[in-house]
């Protein structure tokens, strides 16, 4: 039982894939020079995906932290601004409830 509590592999994978998806969609918006409305919709889709994942998986605070950490570091490795990544990561964690 305790082992399952620390098994955050699935949450980490989701965090990485979420960051990859966000990165691809964001670069498409940058190429099209999208307006703020389209960027806001992208953020809404991101938080919606996170919320669905949180509803279908039992996440304790350790797993939430691992998910957020994987999301954050994937975006940082892709060259996103650290302050922007911190704000996005905060939104992701808050969407998990």
Rounded CA gap, 31 and 9, in Å? Answer: 33
Rounded CA gap, 73 and 94, in Å? Answer: 18
Q: CA angle 33-47-88, nearest 5°? A: 65
Q: What is the mean predicted confidence (pLDDT) over 22-41?
A: 83
- pTM value is 0.90
Q: CA angle 95-8-60, nearest 5°? A: 50
* pLDDT for position 30: 76
36-80 confidence digits (pLDDT tens): 788 889 999 999 999 999 999 989 999 999 999 999 999 999 999
Count of other CB atoms within 10 angstroms of residue 56: 8
Domain boundaries, the chain: 2-96
69-93 confidence digits (pLDDT tens): 999 999 999 999 999 999 999 999 9
* pLDDT for position 1: 59
């Amino acid at each position: 039982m305790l082992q399952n509590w620390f098994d955050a592999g699935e949450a980490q994978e989701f965090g990485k894939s979420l960051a990859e998806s966000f990165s691809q969609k964001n670069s498409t918006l940058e190429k099209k020079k999208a307006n703020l409305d389209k960027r806001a919709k992208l953020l809404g889709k991101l938080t919606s995906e996170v919320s669905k994942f949180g509803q279908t998986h039992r996440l304790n605070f350790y797993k939430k932290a691992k998910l957020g950490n994987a999301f954050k570091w994937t975006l940082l490795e892709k060259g996103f601004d650290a302050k922007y990544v911190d704000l996005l990561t905060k939104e992701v964690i808050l969407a998990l409830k």
